[in-house]
Amino acid sequence: MGNDGGSIPTRRELVKEAARAPTTAQLKETQREQQEHAWTTCPLSHKVLARPIVSDSVGNLYNKDAVLQFLIGDDAEGISSKSDCEEILCGRVKGLRDVVELHFEVDTERTEHPSDKINAHRHQRREGWICPITAKPLGAGVKSVYLVPCGHVFTEEAIRQLKGDKCLQCDEAYTEDNVISILPTKEEEKQRLIARGQKLAEQGLTHSLKKAPGSKKRKKHATDNSVDTPSNTVDAPKSAAAANDRSSTSTPTPGGNIKNASAAKIAARVKDEQDEKNKRQKRAGLNENLDSLFTKKDSKKSGDFMTRGFTIPASARR
């Protein structure tokens, strides 16, 4: 009986199964899904990430036009409310000097799979990005970094193996502190980036190593990369079209404009290996099972399986 006031259910009757902590596999799968979403979607506009793309001091990715709309205070459709944007940015972005525009190497050989159109909600980014040194694809599951102030993107493996103080692509100088992890997952790496931002703020610099607005004027012969004259909070580009043209340029093949000698050799070797692999695939031609049905040029048999017929063995002719 029930619902008549005559019985009171106990907790054992209501809770059939105790809550269980998620397994390691479930936690990894959840983290992978979050990384995939962060690599493909702008958190401000909820649109697909498309160049020009910028990053803040902790490695988060945004569409540049969405950041501009937030800074200008534009209430255009397609962007979250100002309060939501401020909650996402956590006060890290007050101007364009607080972000760095990233320069991705585009994989020109990538072709869109037919299933991408069907599963468009799962495959949001159609443009493929690769490391210009190792030619590995960039995205969820691959530790990627970019350099400040140039903004070129590489795999962490390439930067770790080719230790140096100059960018592997444009040969611009950088320090170890200015190697920024993209969408870091480890807590110690996040804390390192936060500490870096606080240190730069104490020096009157922004994430892009430019002088923060309102700070004291530096000497003209300063050796850092800061800007000597103050500017407005929003450093809008002189021409939007020029900024888009600059962000859309990329080399067609790995190592095309790499100035670092060691990096250029590795990129050239990777390209040669890929070309040799493509040549082997072309020489393979037909499937081996189908190719075995046809006669080769140096074969003693005449014709193929359709024309050469049946030959009586010599032992059976007696």
Mind listing the pLDDT tens digit for each residue in 4-60? 667 777 877 777 776 678 888 988 899 899 999 999 999 999 999 999 999 999 999
Contact 182, 171 (CB under 8 A): no
The confidence score (pLDDT) of residue 277 equals 74
pTM of the model: 0.64
pLDDT value at 227 more than 60 = no
| In the predicted structure, residue 163 carries a pLDDT above the cut 50 | yes
Residue 113, pLDDT score: 46
Please identify which residue in the block is written with the tokens 């024309």. Answer: 307
pLDDT of 103 > 70? The answer is yes
Q: Where is pLDDT greater, at 138 or 276? A: 138
Say yes or no to pLDDT of 159 above 70: yes
Q: What's the first-to-final CA gap in the chain, in angstroms?
A: 97
Q: How confident is the model at residue 90 (pLDDT cuts 50, 70, 90)?
A: very high
Q: Which residue has the higher pLDDT, 71 or 7?
A: 71
**pLDDT of 207 strictly over 80:** yes
Lowest mean pLDDT among 31-35, 112-116, 267-271: 112-116
pLDDT higher than 50, residue 131: yes
Q: What are phi and psi of 44, to 5 degrees?
A: -85, -45
Range ranked top by mean pLDDT from 238-247, 258-267, 307-316:
258-267
**Whether the Cβ atoms of residue 168 and residue 263 lie closer than 8 Å to each other:** yes
Taking 80 as the threshold, does the pLDDT of residue 172 lie above it? yes
Q: Which residues of 209-235 are buried (b: 16+ CB within 10 A; e: fewer)?
A: bbbbbeeeeeeeeeeebbbeeeeeebb
Tokens representing 99 are: 């972000």
